[in-house]
Amino acid sequence: MRDLSAARQAPYVAASPLVRPLPPLTRLLLRGGSDALAAALAALGLPFTEAACRAVSQSDRSALWLGPDERLLLAPQQQLIELTELLREALAGRAHCLVDVSHRQCALEVSGPQAAVVLNCGCPLDLDAHAFPVGMCTRTVLAKAEIVLWRSGERSFHVEVWRSFAAYVSKVLALAARELSP
């Protein structure tokens, strides 16, 4: 088996007080019917919800709603084998697709009182807390890159971005932060 540890190292992220790279994560894309999704989330200790564009979290695991039949499962990097085994048992006999995309993406945190404003410099969504509350997540764009955006706190956002776009996205965010600073 090929060693992917080098591929999972954090890519370059432009320096900014509002943007920081998050530690490497296990990322599993799960597609299936509501029975498969409910079984998988129960096995991971996460509540099942069909509420659109919402993330559920418990301890250090999260599931982000990306579509009616699709969830992005996030957990610490060292849990990959454990999660894969749990999900293999929980999904046995259920139609589903489970793909490890840990090597494809990385995560950034954008936080601070100006986090939503900085993100809105390149993201077309209304990120006001009333329109995009804590726990909301969606696929969107930031400048010219596709991202998954999750409001993880009142003043913090979790940004999932393909590794090849991480430097670009972080530079866009750093530039926006610099433009907004007094």
Is residue 8, in this structure, part of any structural domain at all? no
Is residue 85, in this structure, part of any structural domain at all? yes
C-alpha to C-alpha distance for 118 and 170, rounded to whole angstroms? 11
User: What pLDDT shows up at residue 5?
Assistant: 54
pTM here is 0.90
User: What pLDDT shows up at residue 10?
Assistant: 58
User: What pLDDT shows up at residue 169?
Assistant: 95
Tell me which residue range forms the domain holding 95. Answer: 19-180
- Summarised one tens digit per residue, pLDDT across range 104-149 is 999 999 999 999 999 999 999 999 999 999 999 999 999 999 999 9
Q: Which of 129, 167, 151 is nearest to 159 (CA)?
A: 151
The radius of gyration of the chain's CA atoms, rounded to the nearest angstrom, is 16
Is residue 123, in this structure, part of any structural domain at all? yes
Is residue 4, in this structure, part of any structural domain at all? no
Amino acid letter, residue 111: S
User: What pLDDT shows up at residue 1?
Assistant: 45
Residue with tokens 């010219």: 144
Low-confidence ranges of the chain (pLDDT < 70): 1-10, 15, 182
- Say which CATH number the domain at 103 has: 3.30.1360.120
Is residue 12, in this structure, part of any structural domain at all? no
Which residues, listed in sequence order, are joined to residue 28 by a DSSP beta bridge? 73, 100
User: What pLDDT shows up at residue 78?
Assistant: 95
Number of domains in the chain: 1
Is residue 14, in this structure, part of any structural domain at all? no
Is residue 66, in this structure, part of any structural domain at all? yes
User: What pLDDT shows up at residue 49?
Assistant: 87
Helices H / strands E in the chain, number of each: 4, 10
Is the separation of the CB atoms in 162 and 177 below 8 Å? no
Is residue 11, in this structure, part of any structural domain at all? no
Residues in the chain: 182
State the alpha helices, DSSP H only, in the chain: 34-43, 80-91, 115-120, 163-180
What three-state secondary structure class fits 143?
Answer: coil
Output the six-digit token pair for 34.
Answer: 């509501």
